[in-house]
Amino acid sequence: MNDDDAFDQAGLRDAEWPFFWITQTAHRYTQVMEARLKTIGVDPTYWRVMMALGEGKGLSVSEISAQCILKPNTATKIVHRMLAEGLVETGDRAGDARVTEVMLTGKGDALAAKARVVADEVYVQAFAGLSQDERLVLDMLLERVFNRLG
């Protein structure tokens, strides 16, 4: 029996079950971000799309859907709302005119910068007291779990 077998059969309580803490943490993060983003008039889903489109990056609606963990029809609706508000624009992808890319406008970039300040404050609060090595280990472990689920 290896260590993985022992873990699998350990009969862990909720507080010892890693997925309990993963889901609890994700939910708490979402709640905190939603409340803080609301103070600057940003919808949490807009935040996710703006971060995906950051740094001048253009993505298709399908790519936004995948990266932001949104259903394709939801991603389409969000992009249309953001278009109507002047936060994004669309155009043909260089090298493949069959693909329509979504990009932030100047207005979208400005709003994303405000939202980034809020997100950075939440990050500092959440990871206060953890060393850079501890954060890197957490990232590495979560990535390994993520990849095993794929």
Burial degree of 83 (CB within 10 A; 0-12, 13-18, 19+):
middle
Q: In this structure, is residue 115 part of a structural domain?
A: yes
The pLDDT tens digits of the residues spanning 89-137 come to 999 998 898 999 999 999 999 999 999 999 999 999 999 999 999 999 9
Q: In this structure, is residue 87 part of a structural domain?
A: yes
Q: In this structure, is residue 26 part of a structural domain?
A: no
Backbone phi, then psi, for 72, in 5-degree steps?
A: -55, -40
Q: What is the CATH number of the domain that holds 136?
A: 1.10.10.10
In angstroms, the Cα distances linking 101 to 81, 92, 149 are 15, 6, 30
Q: In this structure, is residue 79 part of a structural domain?
A: yes
The pLDDT tens digits of the residues spanning 86-97 come to 999 999 998 898
Domain that holds residue 134: 45-149
Q: In this structure, is residue 134 part of a structural domain?
A: yes
pLDDT of residue 17: 82
The rounded Cα 17 to chain-centroid distance in angstroms is: 23
Q: In this structure, is residue 36 part of a structural domain?
A: no
Q: In this structure, is residue 32 part of a structural domain?
A: no
Measured between alpha carbons, how far is 115 from 138 in angstroms, rounded to an integer?
24
Q: In this structure, is residue 82 part of a structural domain?
A: yes
